[in-house]
Amino acid sequence: MDQQLETLIDLQTLDSRIAGLEGELARLPGQIEAIRAAVAEAQKSVETLKGKSDAARKDIRAKEKDLEVSAVKRQKSEGRLYEVKTNKEYSLVLGEIEEIKQEKSRIEEEILALMETQERLAGEIRQAEAELKSREAQGQQEESAIRQRLAAVEAEVEGLRGERGSLARELPRDLLAEYEKFLRHRGGLAVAQVLSVEGAAICSGCRMTLTPQRLQEVKQQSALLTCESCGRFLYWLPDPHQ
């Protein structure tokens, strides 16, 4: 095989691996973000529930004050029972007292309902806190695994770039420039294998069928040849089964 073609194939292999790893490097921080967002969401659930519980506690306190006010009102009204002069006034005050009693039992019912709410919220808070704790622990584990992967991929990319640098120096400058131009403009693939698909020889880069003439030339591999359709450098690997 043509030495330059062989170098180009090796270069393409390295560049494809580098591109794959760079893609992974670009995705990994997003995974860390997603883990942190899940923990933040669990944190927010806890805070929301605690806010509701606080509001219920304040409501209970306010209603307990209402009960005190109601008790004072009742005491006053009961005192007035001894001061009124007429039966009409007496039944009026009795009516007031009855209203105050009803108000008291209404407030007591409301307090009871709020206490039930608080109890339910306390259970939900415990559950949400447990969920938060497990998400934090899981998140820490996952994040540290991702950071390890990041470091490993960064090291691997660095190694491959070094390898690529020395390989690239083996090529004439203009050939390397052409290769890199195709790499940029042809989706990261500048060197394409010719594949045999259902009896036809196609360029694996653009899927166009090669002319028999071009296929023969590529099979000889005595010179650098490009795809007549996409311009990528072509190479042929003999079928190992034949």
Residues that bind Zn ion (CB under 5 A): 203, 205-206, 227, 229-230
Taking a C-beta distance cutoff of 8 angstroms, is the pair 107, 67 a contact? Answer: yes
Q: Which of 5, 10, 1 is nearest to 166 (CA)?
A: 10
Nearer to Zn ion (CB atom), residue 66 or residue 228? 228
Instruction: Report the interhelical angle of 3-80 vs 173-185 (nearest 10°).
Output: 40
> Shortest gap between Cβ of 188 and Zn ion (angstroms)?
14
Q: Which residue do the tokens 């194939």 mark?
A: 9
> Shortest gap between Cβ of 177 and Zn ion (angstroms)?
20
> Shortest gap between Cβ of 170 and Zn ion (angstroms)?
25
Nearer to Zn ion (CB atom), residue 121 or residue 215? 215
Nearer to Zn ion (CB atom), residue 164 or residue 214? 214
Nearer to Zn ion (CB atom), residue 171 or residue 206? 206
Taking a C-beta distance cutoff of 8 angstroms, is the pair 28, 146 a contact? Answer: yes
> Shortest gap between Cβ of 226 and Zn ion (angstroms)?
8
Identify the bridge partners of residue 202 per DSSP, sorted by sequence position.
195, 209
Instruction: Give the C-alpha separation, 208 to 55, whole Å.
Output: 70
Nearer to Zn ion (CB atom), residue 94 or residue 206? 206
> Shortest gap between Cβ of 7 and Zn ion (angstroms)?
20
Taking a C-beta distance cutoff of 8 angstroms, is the pair 51, 176 a contact? Answer: no
